[in-house]
Amino acid sequence: LAKRERHAVRRFQADLGQAAMEQLELGQALRRALENGELRLHYQPIVDAQTLEPVALEALVRWQHPQLGLLPPGRFIPVAETSGLMSPLSHWVLREACAQLSHLRARWPALRVTVNVAPQQFVEADFADQVSAALHDFGLDPKAVIIEVTEGAVVGDAGFLQAEELDSAGLDLALDDFGTGYSSISRLHQLPARWLKIDRSLIQDLRPVPERRSSRPIVRALITFAHEAGLQVVAEGVEDPQQLQELQDWGCDLLQGYLIARPQSPELLKL
C-alpha cells in the first residue's frame, strides 16, 4: 500500500475503534442513566380529527444526558438494544407513563396514554402481567393505556397470542407505522388492534410532487379498509393545514403531528 493509503486505513480503523468505544461507553452510561433517573418522557397529543380535542398522549422517551443534553430515542434505543437494556427501559417507560397519566387524569379524566413497545419486549412472556401490574399500581383502568406495536410484532404466533391476551384484559392496541414495509391491508380484519396509525411517510407524500406519485389513493383506501375492519385511523406526522383538511374530509378519526402539537415535557403540556 502506498503511504497515503496506509494512512487512510489506519484512520479508518481508528474511527471504527472510536465508534465502537463510544457505543460501549454509551451503553454503560445508559445503564447508569436508568439507575439515576436521567430518562424522561415527552408527550405528543393525539387529537380527535373533527374537534381537535386531545384523546390520548403518545409517550416518547428521551435521555437527559448530563453532558450531551436531551437525546432523542434514535440516539440511544439502538444502544439499549445492543446492551441488553431494552427490557428495563421498556419497564421504566410503561410505569412512568402510568404514573404521569394518573396525575393528568385528575384534570382530564378521560385522557389516555400510548406506549411504544419493541417487538422483543412485546412477546416477553410476562409482558401482559407487567402491564396489569402497572395499571393496578397506579389505579388505572385497562383503557387508560394503549400499546403501540408495529405490525411485525403481531403477525407471528407469540405476538398474536400476546395481543389476544392484552385484548381480553381490556387493553387497546395500536398498529404503529402502518403502510411501511409489507403491510397486510387484506388481513386488517384479522389483526387484533383497535387503532391503525398511518405512517408519517404516507402523510408527507399526500402532496403531489413532480416525479413522485401522491399517496392519496393509498391513504384513502387505508381509511376505508380500516373502518370496514372496525379500526380507528390515526394519521401521524400531520404538518400542514392542507393535510389536515383532506384527512378530515376522508373521515380519518384521529390526528397527530407538529401542526397540532410537538412532543412536550409533561409540565409544558397545553391540552
Considering only residues 54 to 93 of the shown chain, the ones binding Ca ion according to CB under 5 A are none
172 is a contact residue toward Ca ion (CB under 5 A): no
**Residue 3 beta carbon to ligand C2E: minimum distance, rounded to whole angstroms:** 44
Q: How many CA atoms lie within 13 A of 137 on its CB side?
A: 13
Residue 44 beta carbon to ligand C2E: minimum distance, rounded to whole angstroms: 6
Nearer to ligand C2E, 131 or 238 (CB): 238
Q: Which of residues 138-167 bind Ca ion (CB under 5 A)?
A: 148
- Asked whether the beta carbons of 269 and 43 are under 8 A apart, the reply is yes
Eight-state DSSP code of residue 19: H
Q: Specify the stretch interacting with ligand C2E by CB under 6 A; choose among 1-9, 114-122, 158-166, 182-190.
A: 114-122
Q: Which helix (H) or strand (E) holds 235?
A: strand 232-235
Site string for ligand C2E, 43-82 (x = CB under 6 A): -x---------------xx----------xxx--x-----
Q: Least Å distance between CB 1 and ligand C2E? A: 42
Q: Which is nearer to ligand C2E, 113 or 135 (CB)?
A: 113
Contact letters for ligand C2E, residues 87-106 (x by CB under 6 A): ------x-------------
Where b means 16+ CB within 10 Å and e means fewer, 82-92 reads ebebbeebbbb
DSSP state of 51: T
- Does 176 sit near ligand C2E (CB under 6 A)? yes
Task: Label residue 108 left, alpha or beta by phi (over 0 means left) and psi (-120 to 50 means alpha).
Answer: beta
CA distances from 236 to 39, 45, 138, 188, 229 (A): 24, 11, 28, 18, 20
Spatial distance between the Cα atoms of 76 and 64, rounded to a whole number of angstroms: 11
61 binds, among ligand C2E, Ca ion, none (CB under 5 to 8 A by kind): ligand C2E
Q: How buried is 71 (Cβ within 10 angstroms: 0-12 exposed, 13-18 middle, 19+ buried)?
A: buried
Question: Which entry of Ca ion, ligand C2E, none binds 12, CB below 5 to 8 A by partner kind?
Answer: none
Which region among 13-21, 101-109, 110-118, 242-250 touches ligand C2E (by CB under 6 A)?
110-118
Cα Rg of the chain, angstroms:
21
- Here the cell at position 120 is 422483543
**Contacting positions for Ca ion (CB under 5 A):** 116, 148, 176-177, 236
**Contacting positions for ligand C2E (CB under 6 A):** 44, 60-61, 72-74, 77, 93, 116-118, 176-177, 200, 237-239, 257-258, 263
